[in-house]
Amino acid sequence: MRFVDDPTAETAVHIEAPPSAVWPFVTDFDVLARFSDEFQGGAWLDPSTSPGVGARFRGHNENPWAAWDVTCTVTDWEPGRAFGWLVENPDAPAADWRFTLDAEEGGTRLGYRARMGPGPSGVTLFIAEHPDAEERIVDDRLATWTANMEATLHGIRGLAEGGPGPD
């Protein structure tokens, strides 16, 4: 897959808890950082106001090759239903991330989706340096995202179902 093909990672898990019990974990940066190898945490940029559409937060990320901070703008904030954000420039985001919570028989279907671009990012810079490896770069990045997204969902499931979540 190439960057212009709208690369997207998406996964979901069933949780034996209602959306109202899952929501606090989805919106807690410490919880999200606990289960991701890359996302190290975040903080609201204006903690005096309630989070919602238009609110901004700063996220800190690390992997074996780099460490970076990003400013994110909330695009979806429906308690118990959806939390989404754009990374960096909202008019040309580096990425678009979203959790969805859907009530289903016996609990919640928690979905997690991320899309690269269309704006510039570390991925686009790396592709510019190695254009012949674009498909491998995009595929590797999607694989990393998917692994971290799945770990996060399984961790949230463990917490919401009353356990400590996987370590």
pLDDT digits (tens, 9 = 90+) for 152-166: 999 999 999 986 555
The answer to whether the CB of 133 falls within 8 A of the CB of 13 is: no
Better-predicted residue by pLDDT, 67 or 50: 67
pLDDT tops 50 at residue 167: no
The answer to whether the CB of 110 falls within 8 A of the CB of 15 is: yes
d(CA 79, CA 101): 9
According to the model, what pLDDT value does residue 155 have?
97
d(CA 32, CA 72): 15
Domain architecture of the chain: domains with CATH = 3-160 (3.30.530.20)
Cα–Cα–Cα angle for 157, 70, 12, nearest 5°? 25
User: Whole-prediction pTM value?
Assistant: 0.92
Section 100-122 average pLDDT: 96
